[in-house]
Structure formats: structure tokens, C-alpha cells
Amino acid sequence: MSEFDSNPFVDPLDINPFQDASITQATSGAPKNVGEFNPFSATEMGTHSGTTIPISAATSQPAILPTSVEQSAQYCITQQANVAAGQANLLKQQEELEKKAAELERKEQELQNRTGGRVLNTGDKENNWPPLPKFFPVRPCFYQDFEEDIPEEYRRICKRMYYLWMFHSATLFLNVLACLAYFTADSQYGVDFGLSILWFILFTPVSFICWYRPVYKAFRSDSSFSFFFFFFVFFFQVAVYIIQTVGIPKWGNSGWIASISMIRTNLAVAVVMMVVAGFFTVNAVLAVILLKMVHSKYRRTGASFTKAQQEFSTGVLTNRTVQTAAASAAQGAFGN
């Protein structure tokens, strides 16, 4: 009831809320310098540096600066290495070009020396096979250069075909000698000696023209017609090798049958004939192997029978001899 007895018109007491006993007791134990706390002062920095900022971090430079400098240095080193590598590559290319230029100049000089200073037309090459001496009245009939004409992937097989032809020619020559011994041992085999001379004279150039040159041209110009012509002729050549290996008497071949038949008559002659029979056997085996190798190369070239027909028809129509003969026949037909 005392509340209702108070005079409302009297000034209220000036009550300080901070004079409360509980507040006074709580604030009496606070340090005196709380109000003066400055987190940026030297004293406070020294007091709290061990718990807030490590000494190593406080004394070191910003972390991004060394990384940036290191990257810049590494970039400069990389650029210098690239420039040095580019210069070395340019120098290497320049040396290669100089070597090629010197090689071309050397080949041109050799060509001029070989042709006696004459400049050949484009695509016109002086024949160099067979390699006959200059004083010889007969000049070379063919041009042959494996390094220049034959691509690298076909060069080895083409050379092997050339070596087979050389071995074939040597075998035919030895066959003449064996048939001569055969004839001396028994005069009734004179026909073998005569035929052996004929086979040597005939088959040596014919084999070169009919199956070696076609395969050389086929690899040189990727000619389907030359490939088919080679396969057609070389198949018969393999059959001839087999016949020569068998050695039928009075066929002009010193094969196994003829050589074995001479063992009882003359052992020395039989041994000579057996050696030649072995040569014929090697010819047959090598011919079969090389035929398969050429066929495998032929399948990779993309040649076909249709291309061979086109090449044949084009070659016939553009051949001057055929054109002259056709014109003469037409004139004769109209004249009659």
C-alpha cells in the first residue's frame, strides 16, 4: 500500500542502476587497465604474439612473392632453352640442306662427266647397262639404277631378282661345260652339248628382257601391265627350271637323271653334272620363293587386271610404231 501513498508530484529519486550490489561486486575484481587495453600497442603485441601470430610468419615475406619470382625465373629459363633448341634445329636443318645441295651438285657433275658435257633432256637418261668399256663398239642398251629408280620398300626384292638372273646365267654357262664333259664321256650325247649352247645363248638375254626388265619396270613405275607380264613369263621360267633340274637326257640339261646315269660310266663327269644339277635346283627354289615375294609386294601396290588393260590400251594407242603401221594399213585399204 506504500505505493499508493507516494506522492506522484514529488521528483523521483535519481537511481543509478550501476550502483546495484551485484554489479558492483562483479566489477570490483576486474583489472584496472581493462579500459586501457590497446591490441595494437607494443606491449600487447609482445604479450599475445606467441598465441596469435607465429614468429616465423611475422618475420617472413608474403608467400606469393617467392612463388611468383620462381615462376618468372623458370619461365625465362624455359624460353631461353626453347630459343637455344630452335637455333640448334635451324643450324641442323641448314647443314642438311648444304649436304643435299653438295650431293646434288656432285651427281650433276658426275652426270655431265658421264655424258661428255651433254645436257640430257628431261626424263632422258643415258643407258648404263651392260657396263661395257668405252672403246667397245657396242653401247649399253638399258638404263639401270636401283637407288634412283626403285622405291626403298621394293629395292631389296628388285635386287634379289637381278641376282637371280645373274645366277641363272652362270648356271647356264656351267651347264655348257657339264654337257661338254657329258659329250666327251659318251659321243651319243653330242645333242645335249649343242642344245646347252643354244640355251645359254638364247635364255640369257631372253630372261633378262622377258622377266627381269618387266619386274624392274613394275617396281619403278608401279605398272600393273608390267606386273602381269612378269607373272605370265616367270611362271614358265619356273617350269623350265624344274625341267632343267630333272635333267631329261638329250634335252640339253645336266640335271639329276642325266648325272645319275653317268655314275657307272664316268664318276668324275657325273660329279660335275651333279653340281650343275644342284645349281638348277637352287634356281628353281629361289624362283618360287621370289615369285611369292613379288606377288606379296604386288598386292600392296594396288595394281589390278583392269589397270593393266588400261595401261596396255593406252600404250598401244600412243606407240609411234603402232600408229605408223595403222596409218599404213588404212592408206593401203583406202588405196585398194
pLDDT tens per residue, range 186-228 = 888 899 999 999 999 999 999 999 999 999 999 998 888 888 8
Task: Return the DSSP state at 129.
Answer: B
For the ranges 82-91, 228-237, 267-276, which has the lowest average pLDDT?
82-91
Q: Which is more confidently placed, 336 or 17?
A: 17
Respond yes or no on whether the N-terminal peptide bond of residue 31 is cis (omega within 30° of 0): no
**Torsions phi, psi for 229 (to 5 deg):** -65, -40
Asked which of 82-91, 112-121, 176-185 is least confident by mean pLDDT, the reply is 112-121
What is the model's pTM? 0.59
pLDDT at 303: 58
Residue 82 is predicted with a pLDDT of 81
pLDDT in tens, 133-177: 888 888 888 999 999 889 888 999 999 999 999 999 999 999 999
DSSP state of 44: H
- The residue extents of the domains of the chain are 63-112, 157-312
C-alpha span between 81 and 75 (Å, rounded): 10
Lowest mean pLDDT of 67-71, 183-187, 214-218, 284-288, name the range. 67-71
Which residues are within 8 A (CB) of 286 and not within 5 positions of it... i.e. 6 or more apart? Answer: 164, 167
Average pLDDT of the residues in 40-51: 51
In this prediction, residue 120 has a pLDDT band, given cuts at 50, 70 and 90, of very low
The predicted structure's pLDDT at residue 284: 96
| Proportion of the chain above pLDDT 90, given as a percent | 37
Nearest Cα neighbor of 172 from 237, 110, 252, 114 is 252
Mean pLDDT over each residue of the chain, to the nearest integer: 77
Q: What is the number of other CB atoms lying within 10 angstroms of the CB of residue 308?
A: 17
